[in-house]
Amino acid sequence: MSDIEKLIRGFQRFRARYFERDRELFQQLAREGQTPRTLVIACSDSRVDPAIITDAEPGDLFVIRNVANLVPPAEDSGAFHGTSAAVQFAVCDLEVRHIVVMGHGHCGGIRALLEGDAETGYIGNWVKIAGRARAKVLERWPDASPAFRQRAAERMSIIVSLDNLMTFDFVRTRVEAGTLKLFGWYFDIENGEMMQYDPEARRFHDLYLGWD
C-alpha cells in the first residue's frame, strides 16, 4: 500500500467512524461557522498533533503549526506574516479566550537552532526567532549534555513565544483586560506527559486540572 493509498483509506475510516457519527455537528459547523475558544500554536512535527493530544472535537481548536511552534514579535515590515496573521484572526475575529503555545521534546527546529545547523535560508531565518533561548541555554549550562540543552532550549523557546505574543497590541490589551489568557505547554513525547509554564515561579510543572 502506498503512502497516498494509506491516507485515502484513512479518510474512508474517518467518514465511517467519525463523520457519520457526528454528521449533525459537521453540518452545524458548516452552517454557523467556527467558534473555537482556544488557539493552539504548535510545531509542524508529524508526531505532535494538538487535536489528537488533547482529544479535541471538530471546532474546538484553532491551530497554527510551524517549525518549532514559534511566534515572531510584532512588526510592520510589509513581508509575509502567516503566523502573525493567523494569531490576529484568532484573537480579533474569532475572539478566542485562550492561547496555548505547545512545544515538545526532540524538536528538530530547536535542535537546528541550538547546533547552528540552519544558519541561512528559510529555516535559519525562522528559528532565529528563538535565538534568545539559545543564548540563555548556552550561557547557563555551557557544560551540560546535548540532550539537557535540547530540552532546556525547547522550553525556553516557549517562553520566548509567550513574550512575543505580548508585543501584539491586540493580544496585550485583551490579556490586561482579563479576556484572554496565555499558556505555555511542553509535551514529552517519550513519556506522554504534559508540562505547563508557571510565569510566577518561572518554571514548568506537570499539567493537572487544578490550573485555571
Check pLDDT > 90 for residue 140: yes
Check pLDDT > 90 for residue 111: yes
Contact 139, 156 (CB under 8 A): no
CA distance 112 to 120: 11
Full set of structural domains in the chain with CATH: 1-33 (no CATH), 34-206 (3.40.1050.10)
How confident is the model at residue 184, as a pLDDT? Answer: 98
CA distance 208 to 29: 30
**What is the pTM (predicted TM-score) of this model?**
0.92
Which comes out higher in pLDDT, residue 121 or 204? 204
Torsion of CA 105, 161, 59, 66, to 10 degrees: -60
Contact 61, 38 (CB under 8 A): yes
Q: What average pLDDT score do residues 166-188 get?
A: 98
How confident is the model at residue 95, as a pLDDT? Answer: 98
Which residue is listed with cell 509542524? 44
Contact 158, 101 (CB under 8 A): yes
Q: What average pLDDT score do residues 178-196 get?
A: 96
Check pLDDT > 90 for residue 209: no
Residues in the chain: 212
Q: What is the pLDDT of residues 12-59, one digit of tens each?
A: 998 998 899 889 999 999 999 999 999 999 999 999 999 999 999 999
Confidence of residue 92 (pLDDT cuts 50, 70, 90): very high
Confidence of residue 117 (pLDDT cuts 50, 70, 90): low
As a whole number, the mean pLDDT across the chain is 93
Q: What is the pLDDT of residues 145-155, one digit of tens each?
A: 999 999 999 99
CA distance 19 to 173: 39
